[in-house]
Chains A and B, each alone.
Chain A
Amino acid sequence: MNTRVAAIAVLVAFLAGMVFATFSELRVFLPALLRGALITIEVAALSFLLMTASAFTAGVARLSPWWSVRWIATAYVEVFRGTSLLVQLFWFFFVLPEFGLTLSPMAAGVLGVGFNFGAYGAEIVRGAITAVPRGQWEAAAALNLPVFRRMTRIVLPQALVVVIPPFGNLTIEMVKATSVVSAVTLVDITYASVQQNQLHYRTVEIFVVTLFLYYCFSQLIRFSMGLLEERSKRHLAATR
């Protein structure tokens, strides 16, 4: 207990000292970093929506009774998991215009990150749906529920409980991965910190602040996913 208090005290003192020592410099580069943080948050939020939508669509489609739907979903998952996110971003930004579809940097970034992580999410969703006991499907069929309602009312709510924890980790990975969107000329935190570093040469302070911001984002997601997990379990317990 005492070592813990001492360790925390040392840490707080260290942080306070560092903040104090760099306070004057902080004023110079912090606004640019925070503007970058807004871009990061925007990309991450939009990518999260796209990721969730494509993960559920592809995850359900991989279990479809029609082989053509299954095949398309499998191809999507394999292609997006098999190549690098950076390659995909480049492809969306520089190659799609050749096909006559010019994307803004933000659109290219969101499409790249969202589809890439949606492919990983699809595997999570597929795994969770197959983990729902067979009897639940049969019971729903016996009660004469139509296929769509069987999925939305019986299977998916139960799968959701299994989906949320790995989805939280995936979301954290996704937020970290948004750091590569500078490849398509977006000025996110990472790129802003590189720019500020080239202007001011305060490597340690700038990057410590950047790492700290990302760390806060991941902790925030971990916390909110924990709340969501609690909620989804409560829902399940109430209906049982």
Chain B
Amino acid sequence: MNWDWQFTFEVVLPRLLPVVPVTIQATVLSFLLAVVLGLFLMLLRISRFKLIAVPAGELIELIRGTPLLVQLFFLFFLLPEVGITLPPLTTGILGIGIYNAALCAEVYRAGIQAVPAGQWEAAKALNLGAYRTWRDIIIPQSLPPIVPALGNYLIGIFKETPLLSFLAVGELMHASKLIGSEYYRFTEAVTLAGLFFLVMSLVAAVLVRMVETRVSRSILR
């Protein structure tokens, strides 16, 4: 084993650091897309009309039951064929966002179904409208299980972004692959990329735990 510090500081770091924002951008945008789209999927899923609820449920199952990478390739090759040309990064964000939206939809559903039925009945007995019921009764009570799960998905999405390197998006993994094949030295680049992911996800895990305690404390007073 020969770790070359000079190579690390002169070649690897200057090329990896500028692409860190791409990874973070992909993570944040995919997460936002997943959270919002997941909400819509969940609303379709719990619809009273079977004709909407059943296909939505099957769609969620299908997205959850197949690999993200295949979905990414599918979007990547399909979109140009139907006349939509997007930059690879946008396609990737779209793919990761849709995949995680299906996961988030199930999280929301579980959180809302965990609210006791008596709460709905009490809200109805108090003559609260649908909006007040959701805003003041159901959503605050369903948040404590939802928030930590969403935090874990944020970390999960962060660790899924290396898949974008398959679509030639210039993110961290792609950059270290390029360095590796240019100089035929993978050790430094791949190890640094791994370390970056390790540190970031450990930090993120601590943050998620902090948010989790905040949420449960502020709601279950």
Q: Please give the residue numbers on chain A whose beta carbons come within 8 Å of chain B beta carbons, in ascending order.
A: 3-4, 7, 78-79, 81-88, 90-91, 94-95, 98-100, 172, 176-180, 182-183, 189-190, 193-194, 197, 203-204, 207, 210-211, 214-215, 218-219
Contacts and interface: CB of A to CB of B under 8 A. Distances in A.
Contacts of A203: 74, 77-78, 81
Given A193-B70, A194-B73, A211-B62, A84 B162 contact: yes
Interface in B35-81: 50-51, 54-55, 62, 65-71, 73-74, 77-78, 81
B88 interface: no
Interface stretch (B5-13, B111-119, B190-198, B210-218): B190-198
Interface string B151-169: 0000000011111011000
A40 to B, nearest CB: 10
29 contacts: A3-B50, A7-B54, A82-B202, A83-B197, A83-B198, A84-B159, A84-B173, A84-B197, A87-B173, A87-B194, A90-B180, A91-B194, A94-B180, A98-B1, A98-B186, A100-B1, A172-B65, A176-B67, A176-B68, A177-B67, A190-B73, A207-B70, A207-B77, A210-B70, A211-B66, A214-B65, A214-B66, A215-B62, A215-B66
B69 A180 contact: yes
A86 B163 contact: yes
B69 A179 contact: yes
A95 B191 contact: yes
Contacts of A87: 162, 173, 190, 193-194, 197
B39 to A, nearest CB: 23
B201 interface: yes
Contacts of B197: 82-84, 87
A179 B99 CA distance: 15
Most buried by B among A7, A180, A203, A204: A203
A210 B74 CA distance: 10
B99 to A, nearest CB: 10
Nearest to A216: B65
Q: How large is the interface on B (under 10, 10 to 19, 20 to 34, 35 or more residues)?
A: 35 or more
A177 B162 CA distance: 13
A179 B77 CA distance: 17
Given A3-B50, A90-B177, A203-B78, A193 B165 contact: no
Contacts of B127: none
B55 to A, nearest CB: 8
Contacts of A207: 70, 73-74, 77-78
B67 A82 contact: no
Most buried by A among B50, B69, B81, B163: B69
Contacts of A210: 70
B191 A91 contact: yes
Given A83-B194, A177-B67, 17 more contacts: A78-B202, A79-B198, A84-B160, A84-B173, A87-B194, A87-B197, A90-B176, A98-B2, A98-B187, A100-B1, A176-B67, A178-B67, A190-B67, A190-B70, A194-B73, A207-B70, A219-B65
B186 to A, nearest CB: 4
A214 B100 CA distance: 18
A203 B177 CA distance: 27
